[in-house]
Structure 1
Amino acid sequence: MNSKLKNDALLVLTALIWGSAFVAQSVGMDYMGPFTFNSLRCLMGGLVLLPVIWIMGRKDPKDPAYRPDSRSIEEGQKKRGDKKILLTGGLCCGIALAAASSLQQIGLVYTSAGKAGFITALYILIVPVLGLFLGKKVGLKTWIGVGLAIIGMYFLCIKEGFFISYGDFLVMICAFIFSLHILIIDYFSPKVDGVKLSCIQFWVAGILCAVPMIISEKPTFEAVAAAWLPLLYAGVLSCGVAYTLQIIAQKNTDPTVASLILSMESVFAALAGWVLINETLSPKEIFGCVLVFTAIILAQLPQKRPA
């Protein structure tokens, strides 16, 4: 129970950081293109994790558990197998992250932030549907929570008539790929070191986004320098900290429940705008926040398992 509460708390913290980072993403787009912003923030996130991995990987030679001469051939083969799983997981996570985040950033150019937030949050419905094909059963309370969360997201994010535009279509694809990203993490995170997996995915995503950045956007040093603050926040906190917390917390968390908790990103974005930049929340938006919080609580209630 303590482990479950700890993982849920880490996922809530992840959603909080992502929600408040939306301001940084919007401001950063004033100075550079979407591929430039995503590439730099991901590379920065990977760079931040390198000293963390080095510190965590240090071993004390005086520690009796540290016996480099006692490693067997079997242990060496197991380590090589773990390394292969780690690289494969990092590559898959990085490809998914690069595709989803780029589609989201490009979609924001053509659609409103509210609609983009709502459509992206549809991964809370896509994840359990995809999970059914992978043999993951979802309880009735969780399905009710998913429904409540989607309704709450609509009240929170949609301020005008709902219609599908080019930007909305891009964000829909983004939501589907983010769902795959959550399921990929669910598969690989119990098998490998979470911090290393996170670091590899950032380097992969940063390099992939750098290719279209160089070809089509040609960023300047002046633009990067002008956007140093949103880049620093999005790179260090949103990438380096939040995505790593997501991977660590998802090791022992059902992916559907994890997606529900992470959907609070939109709620925290609205609350951050209210607290930090005095954006008012209408009764309709407050009602949406209440529905999302209710959905999260409902999904956490214990369910009777069949014998």
Structure 2
Amino acid sequence: MKPQLKADLAMLLVTLFWGSSYLFMQMGLTDLSTFNLIGLRFGIAFVIAACIFYRRLLQTTRKTLGHALILGAILFVVFATVTEGVKTTTASQAGFLVSLTVIFVPLLSILLKHKPQTRVFFGAGLAVVGIALLTLNESLRISMGDALCIATALFYATHIIVTGRLAPQSDAIALGVCQLGFAAAFGFVSSLFFESPRLPHTPKAWLAVLVLSVLCSAIGFVVQTVAQKYTSPTHTGLIFSLEPVFAALFAFLLSGETLSIRGYIGAALVLLSVLIAEIDFARWFRGKKQQASPLPERNMPL
């Protein structure tokens, strides 16, 4: 199996875990505050990952620690916005809004002098229409939760791009583990200053914390960091486009959550915009046509 295919399959599994995370964040927030939940989530994830990869951590360089500090800070902002956002929006809606990460990745790549293709701008325009249908209420205002989830997509795109730049320069596993530790530290410090940190008091909250810690964080972010050494940030974003589908599926199966008709239309447009931005359909159809049409006989080898 090719390294890129392995990386893509690993990212698909991670995307499945992350699709469930919105629902578990809502479950955890019934007993914990935002920063407290982030600190516990990434703190437990760091301990688990550190125990597994302790030999790699013993060889961690200052350069890797510096890179992990940067990624950990961005990761903390990502989850501070989305965890606060899911308080006032649905898990399904949050999943579709955060999927805008795939639109933001190529747009932010302009800063790195990588000009996106025209379809990316078309996808972005379609995404705006989808967001309007998905989030605007009768008074044409977007809720704070929805706005925070859109901000999450922007910060998440930044994390993907920065990870793509830093991962090849460091030990990917040590980088992935250490960023969890720094994200946890930012969470605990913020909770200490702005909240009253404590452990969960209910089995439901413990379940949410453990799923978020083990599957969505310890496994998720270490695998993402390693996999991005073998695939591009844009390709990573394409696989992430399945996250809202998984989010909506988990929300429906576990809590019976649904959207309005207008919401489903908006969600479909957002998902379509993601696919348009990431897939070169013209090139794909040309490739299929070439495969279907055999070469003229005079061009075939003797």
**Band of TM-score, shorter chain:** 0.7 to 0.9
Distance 1:271 1:159, change over 3 A: farther
Q: Is the 8 A contact 2:92 2:248 kept in 1?
A: no
Whether contact under 8 Å (1:97, 1:181) holds in the other structure is: yes
The aligned residue for residue 164 of structure 2 is 186
1:89 and 2:67 matched: yes
Cα 1:84–1:256 shift into 2, 3 Å: same
Cα shift at 1:171: 3.0
Identify the range of structure 1 (211-220 vs 149-158) with the bigger mean alpha-carbon deviation.
149-158
Change (3 A) 1:55 1:155: farther
Aligned pairs, how many?
A: 281
Match of 1:119 in 2: 97
Calculate the TM-score normalised by the size of structure 1.
0.77
Quote the RMSD (CA, aligned, Å): 3.5
CA separation of 1:196/1:236 partners in 2, compared to 1, >3 Å: closer, same or farther? Answer: same
Of the three residues 223, 227, 249, the one matched with 2:201 is: 223
Structure 1 equivalent of residue 29 of structure 2:
29
Q: Does 1:18 align with 2:18?
A: yes
1:203 aligns with 2:186: no
Task: Give the C-alpha shift of residue 202 in structure 1.
Answer: 1.0
Greater shift in the superposed pair: 115-124 or 89-98: 115-124
TM norm structure 2 = 0.78
Matched AA of 2:84: I
**Matches of 1:231 and 1:156 in 2, distance apart?**
32
Which aligned pairs between 1:1-307 and structure 2 lie closer than 5 A?
2-54=2-54, 83-139=61-117, 143=120, 146=123, 150=127, 154=131, 163-221=141-199, 223=201, 227-279=205-257, 284=264, 291=272, 295=276, 298=279
Partner of 2:300: none
Distance 2:280 2:65 in 1: 33
Runs of 5+ consecutive residues of structure 1 not aligned to the other structure: 59-78
Kindly indicate whether the alpha-carbon contact (under 8 Å) linking 1:186 and 1:255 is maintained by their aligned counterparts in 2.
yes
Q: Name the CA distance, whole Å, in 2 between partners of 1:146 and 1:13.
A: 25
Distance 1:173 1:252 in 2: 28
Query: Does the Cα contact within 8 Å between 1:151 and 1:291 map onto a contact in 2?
Result: no
* CA shift in 2, pair 1:2/1:271, >3 Å: same
How far off its partner does 1:109 sit?
2.4
